[in-house]
Structure 1
Amino acid sequence: MAERVVDVVGTATAAAHLKERLYATITMISVVIGLAGTGHPDAAGAAATVATAAAGLWLAAFVADQQAHRVTHGALARGRDLRTMLFVSSPLLLSAVGPLLLIGVSELGAMELKTALYTAAGVNVATLFAWGCYGGVRMGGGTALALLAGVIDAAIGTAVAVVKAAAGH
């Protein structure tokens, strides 16, 4: 799949898109751990926080990209540049989908909200592991390097969660 994206948008754009996806994943771990660590969040409040965090991240990235484009090119991004900018920043919005689905599942009574939030964090850590493994495979170092890269990426995501939980936010 990654090769197909690269063929369509180019290597630099695909790398920037993936960077935003990884950044959004790590950030969303912090958001859901922070929510799980609060007193008694309700599903509506948790959903609003997750959606607002994702929208705020996306808007900040979009404003920064647009400003950088104006400074560099002397004009607002339009056409292909604007589409590229929106494609690159889209994972910041998409990072809310998994947690919102799990919050919805908790609202249906299938699990406690806190469990849904911790599950969302766990899924995001597993996602970091998978991307790390895939990166290790792409580097050509074999299974051991792929697993090491996955473990390192998952450890970074876990460290973010631990710091967030320890800070009590």
Structure 2
Amino acid sequence: MTERAPGGVDVRLVAARLKERLYATITMISVVLGLVGSGHVDVPGAVATVGTASVSLWLAALVADQQAHRVAHGALASGRELREMLFISSPLLLSAVGPLLLIGASALGVMGLETALVTAGWVNVAGLFAWGCVGGLRMGGGRIYAVLAGGIDAAIGTAVAVVKAAAGH
């Protein structure tokens, strides 16, 4: 029997979608860090970079999923399987929403662009922390364990993002 999450969605799909969300969050941290570190970015360039990174990740995931499906099943994914691929990969597009909103706030003069990008990075780090806490609580370790798990997830995610940004990815 398939385990179901709240809302009746297959737990396997929820886990795969969360994995993509965490990967996209780490990648977006590296993108905004790279923009901050470049020193020459303007609002249109930041929008283009964040948008392109998000769409490129999403398309790469879909191509990889379709290729894997073709190899494993001898046919293109369609119907339910294609909908599952789109459901799982959609956080790769959603990862750009927060940074784009903050860049938009910068364009409106609410804050400087560098402040918007740094804020986007910290918001994503907070997201990693929150997901780590949720995981810690779901494992039944209590609040202290949840905060520890959140801190570790945020630290590891940030370290990976810094390395990716430093390497120019």
- Pick the TM interval, shorter chain: over 0.9
Unaligned runs of at least 5 residues, structure 1: none
Mapping 1:101-140, distance limit 5 Å: 101-140=101-140
Q: Distance in 1 between matches of 2:138 and 2:91?
A: 21
Percent identity between the two aligned chains: 73
- Give TM-score, length-normalised by structure 1: 0.93
Supply the distance in 1 between the matched residues of 2:79 and 2:161 (Cα, whole angstroms).
39
Following TM superposition, by how much is the alpha carbon of 1:162 offset from its aligned partner in structure 2, in angstroms?
3.7
- Aligned partners of 1:49, 1:95: CA distance in 2, in Å? 13
RMSD of aligned alpha carbons: 1.7
Q: CA contact under 8 A between 1:54 and 1:93: conserved in structure 2? A: yes
TM-score (norm 2): 0.93
Deviation sequence 1:118-160 (CA, Å, 0-9, x none): 0000000000000000000000010111011000011112223
Structure 2 unaligned blocks of 5 or more: none
Given the alignment, which residue of 3, 6, 12 partners 1:4?
A: 6
Query: 1:38, 1:168 within 8 Å by CA — same for their partners in 2?
Result: no
Alignment-mate amino acid for residue 63 of structure 1 = V
| Alignment-derived partner of residue 71 in structure 2 | 71
Q: Report the 3-state secondary structure (helix = DSSP H, G, I; strand = E; otherwise coil) of the residue aligned with 1:4.
A: coil
Aligned match of 2:34: 34
Corresponding residue of 1:163: 163
Give, in whole Å, the separation in 2 of the partners of 1:118 and 1:166: 16
Equivalent position of 1:94 in the other structure = 94
More helix by share: 1
Matched residue count = 166
Tell me, in whole angstroms, the C-alpha distance in 1 between the residues paired with 2:119 and 2:71. Answer: 42
